[in-house]
Structure 1
């Protein structure tokens, strides 16, 4: 890092390989802990405690209200991710560009979850849940931007692996933790809010982001607005290939996961106890394989100096995994799906973020562009159930067609990634 005339560390948009001989493990720890502490509480509430809260407030309309909350949240989260990411890129402060946002997001996340917990009407639940999405996304995009700002390209696979480890633990562990509070829903939501409060401050203390005050300030002009708040236009071919490749791979998995219970009951023909048994087996397999691969795939990616090959391998494994139940409706095919697709998603979680960082059109707008790439996650959560429902409807209630279609989606996603030119 160079120093200004005031002996102040000056922000650099990127760190070059020769400036960072050793992997900055602390950046991985900061982003991994941050991901664990925002994603775990979010999924603990969203997947477990929110439906329980809705059942308490409006039991007769619970399905429609949960759908309303999900739809509103997706719209708000998408906009907030891009707008806050763009604002984060523009911030000039003694605490840097990202730190003020992740701390504000953590505090706001606690406050809005307490508000949601106190809501006694549907409209208040919707409003408080939407505000929660805004503050949550004040953590997400700026936190990811640390990987672009502070990690040299040659270390991004390793550091993304540490981030992915926290992400995977949060993804699976948050729901397990949330389930422990089903008899005391209000207490559970408060606990999740308190955990969220630690996400930004812990990451900020570990990273110790340098001041961004020495960076040139940008005045509001039309060109500045286009650069910082609009989808990238120039030098963005690889960026969009990564975006849509990621969306296809994620859609393949969310379509299966969203209809997993119905697949087990109507296609595999299991009774209730069988469904519970296989949901547990599949979830455990996917968690274990995702954790193992999230630790190992990133360093391997750095070693072979390739992002596209691991991501394509991940897409291929997902395609093989989701295709297996098409060959037989025997229960073992769903176990193979959990094992093979879990391996693929573990590799994908680990290396995909490193790939994303290397296709960004402009390091000056990293947080905004990473927010746009996050549309692949939110978009797939919408597309997955839509694709699955369309297939089942067209086939007059048969679930068979989901498997080959999702396998094809994963392969298309992998091929789109292979078409990226500026990343090995």
Structure 2
């Protein structure tokens, strides 16, 4: 998926004033290394294995093991705490990465941190016998996967010009589904042991992240000057003024709403299959794996094409807006299914929207960053829009699931998924006013 030159001129966000240290880092940046895109894929997929396996399978199974009578509440506490933690962790990791001065560069130390935290979080999850300990395990895992996501995304902005980011954006987007596929595939192979389902995907993910960390060509940052961090700049770690940077604000809000739709399905899919479609508990890992296979089959076809075509024609907004609307349609269809086969078809529609959206949205985001030469802090804020939905959905889910609940239908999954669809549709509309990206 190598990027090709495009006939249209690149569309970039206005250049903010470049700090002296950032300018030096840019000047010292090495030429793009051979095999950068495969290397990016290895690291991104490794992080996604560690992120998505708990999100889709093992956190739910562990929550159910801790409290068989009310596993959904345990899961809501854990995912809600993770969502709150991202409010602090993601922007701070980004700010620290931009300011890191080391012989290893600005991003590599955070790949190493991520691999270590991923392994530690998996061990804690295995040991968890209470909601509190499972929450701690989730927070440590979030720290690790957050460091990896920040580093991987920032490397794209560091090393590629705006008009060549489509394929790299597609790789990062596909890594989520491929990581889920790898993690769930491992989980299916060892489905008789929850301990193995937790530890093996974490180990595989950490190895992928380490492979990227050890082979990434990144210029040392020791010689670059670093601006003093005053109190105002410190608080700015957690804030981008949407009035001064309206395109960034619109992109952030759009992504937040679209991820609410995705999160509603991902976080509660296991419970929906068990309680809504009455899938046999012994077959739940295989059923989730089947949905991931469908999503990845669709995404593997559409995402690279969308990323490359978006680069070629120099447009992002039509891809992002339409795909978010298609994702919303898929969530509506999920509420109309009566069998697992129909559910797979509905998730295929979700996958069409999700695959194209994630393939192009990252490229759009990197073009509206307030300070392109120090991207990690603002990418950290943007990544809050990926992860805050975890908290939002977990906070809203108990009330939505309880609407009209009865003995025959103890959880109202339709209400949850329809609210997710509405959020994704509003997210699609918010792409339209963005002005600095076509």
TM over 0.5: yes
Contact 2:166 2:307 in 1 (8 A): yes
1:230 correspondence with 2:245: no
Q: Unmatched 5+ residue regions in structure 2?
A: 1-22, 407-411
Partner of 2:369: 360
Partner of 2:432: 418
Q: How does 1:8-407 map to 2 (within 5 A)?
A: 11-12=25-26, 26-53=35-62, 63-118=72-127, 123-227=132-236, 229-233=237-241, 235-258=244-267, 272=279, 282-324=291-333, 334-384=343-393, 390-391=399-400, 393-394=402-403, 405-407=419-421
Partners of 1:253 and 1:94 in 2: CA distance: 39
Contact 1:44 1:176 in 2 (8 A): no
After superposition, the Cα gap between the structure-2 partners of 1:414 and 1:179, relative to the gap in structure 1 and judged at 3 Å, is same
Which deviates further from its counterpart, 296-305 or 274-283? 274-283
Contact 1:141 1:371 in 2 (8 A): yes
Partner of 1:3: none
Q: What is the Cα deviation at residue 146 of structure 1?
A: 0.3
After superposition, the Cα gap between the structure-2 partners of 1:405 and 1:24, relative to the gap in structure 1 and judged at 3 Å, is farther
Partners of 1:281 and 1:382 in 2: CA distance: 27
What's the C-alpha RMSD, in Å, of the aligned pairs?
A: 3.5
Q: What is the Cα deviation at residue 387 of structure 1?
A: 5.3
Partners of 1:377 and 1:258 in 2: CA distance: 13
Partners of 2:417 and 2:79 in 1: CA distance: 25
After superposition, the Cα gap between the structure-2 partners of 1:68 and 1:265, relative to the gap in structure 1 and judged at 3 Å, is closer
- Select the structure with the greater relative contact order (CA < 8 A; seq sep ≥ 6): 2
After superposition, the Cα gap between the structure-2 partners of 1:415 and 1:13, relative to the gap in structure 1 and judged at 3 Å, is farther
Partner of 1:5: none
TM-score between the two structures when normalised by the length of structure 2: 0.80
Question: For each residue in 1:119-156, what CA deviation from the matched residue of structure 2 results, as whole angstroms up to 9, or x when unmatched?
Answer: 56654444344233223322221221001111111111
TM-score between the two structures when normalised by the length of structure 1: 0.82
Partners of 1:60 and 1:393 in 2: CA distance: 15
Q: What is the Cα deviation at residue 245 of structure 1?
A: 0.7
Q: What is the Cα deviation at residue 418 of structure 1?
A: 1.6
Contact 1:289 1:346 in 2 (8 A): yes
Q: What is the Cα deviation at residue 10 of structure 1?
A: 5.3
Q: What is the Cα deviation at residue 170 of structure 1?
A: 0.6
After superposition, the Cα gap between the structure-2 partners of 1:107 and 1:13, relative to the gap in structure 1 and judged at 3 Å, is farther
Contact 1:80 1:137 in 2 (8 A): yes
After superposition, the Cα gap between the structure-2 partners of 1:244 and 1:322, relative to the gap in structure 1 and judged at 3 Å, is same
Which deviates further from its counterpart, 277-286 or 248-257? 277-286
Which deviates further from its counterpart, 391-400 or 348-357? 391-400
Q: Unmatched 5+ residue regions in structure 1?
A: 1-8
Q: What is the Cα deviation at residue 364 of structure 1?
A: 4.1
Which deviates further from its counterpart, 317-326 or 399-408? 399-408
Structure 2 residue matching 1:232: 3-state secondary structure: coil
